Structure 1
Amino acid sequence: MILDNTVAAVVTGGASGLGAATARALAAKGVKVAIFDLQEEKGKAVAADIGGVFCECNVTDDASVDAAFAKAREAHGQERILVNCAGTGNAIKTASRSKEDGSIKHFPLDAFNWIIQINLVGTFRCIAKSAAGMLTLEPQEGGGRGAIVNTASVAAEDGQMGQAAYSASKGGVVGMTLPIARDLASEGIRCNTILPGIFDTPLLAGAPQNVRDALAATVLNPKRLGNPVEYANLAMCMIENDYFNGEDVRLDGGIRMAPR
């Protein structure tokens, strides 16, 4: 894909972390970037810094997503790029016994569904609506109309204890990548997914240094947390390289997650 100031992009979860790094990388190429997020202050700050637009967006809500796409397209025109970084997680065992009184409880289904709705359904909601818009675009030279990059996790393949919901949601993102790429192939729209390992994002910013060091030590090489810029570099490769399609790629320093 040719990237310049005629191209528009949407980055969900673009107010911080992996999304913000990708938004900055796209803007550096001249791309007009819309940041979809619920973090208004941070989102507006990133948007102002890169000459983009902030669109408040809850990926679990149809009306919110529709309004965000409408605002982004009014500002920049139809997006040719969608990067899905919005997501969250929790840590709850499938069933467990209390150490205090021996009582037994199971994973609350509303908590399970909440993760699925954000990470999996929310991702697909944005893909379907964005792809429908991309179909209205004229192809670039070579026949490409658009590129979609999703964010899964290494937990899709080796989830830890307490990650049943998170792993299921991210495994779903991996599982739908190829079918979506096949659905959209004849229209010149590509779809790929990144499976990040342990990255230095706001989620870990408040962790004690000994916890951060312990996490870094589990990485095969290099023994450190991933830099969001490294995620952005792979996302940019998936976007710019027209032969990159239908792939799920781990970006994790060779880590294989332990059971806990």
Structure 2
Amino acid sequence: MTEVPTITLNNGVGIPQLGFGVFQIPPKDTRAAVLTALETGYRHIDTAEMYGNEKEVGQAVRDSGIDRTEIFVTSKLNNGFHEPEAAARAFRKTLETLDIGHLDAFLIHWPLPKVGDFTETWHAMEEMYRTGDVNVIGVSNFQPHHLRRLLDSSTIVPALNQIEIHPYLAQDDVRAFNTEHEIATEAWSPIAQGLVLDDPVINAIAERLGKTAAQVTLRWHIDRGDIVFPKSTTPSRIKENFDLFDFALSEEDMAQITALNRNERTGFDPDQFNATST
């Protein structure tokens, strides 16, 4: 089986650098997709209460026959539960819904800067970590100014910051801030909802290497040091996205792909997004 690199987080916990995401996978398709991913060799599953498929993720983990300690599972706090007591209840609900024992990582899904004080939410996350029911706590979609506020009022530095990253949104400023503070960067929407798959620069590299545009893009993420989790419900695509470790990108390849940055988002701007029901 392919050996996926492990990233050691700031609290000493290891996380597989390549994972499987279930965003936008309908609940009815989630169990089968996750089982295929686990059979392929993925040992990192990324879900969220917002996605509506935590239950099916848990079923797949239990049904896989793989020792629970070998699978890293992440979920996220939904937007309507930032008040500390509500956050604690939401965390307990996630644990019950997944039904896989402990949770490996739990993240604040969005900072919601105009909704409430996310630093108070983070204090609730710190308490969850201290109980031992979750191994890692972190954030998602946090910009450097969000992180500065959080760090100024907290005792635990987030281990993870999951942000939108792809060749059209390189996010070098956020990544640099994360690195400076020993916060690992995770990349969601790693192929820009498919937009980069027709890019002539990426396709020229892929043709030269005998790989697909998706594989080249995902390898770019890996070589940058980001944690990445592509998603698919197609077994052949799930396996293709895992097949990243038998080729290498040159420094020139990396530079050409990074130069495609146009600061173009496929998702919400964290400074503007404040919906608590999404």
TM-score, scaled relative to structure 1: 0.37
* Structure 2 length-normalised TM: 0.35
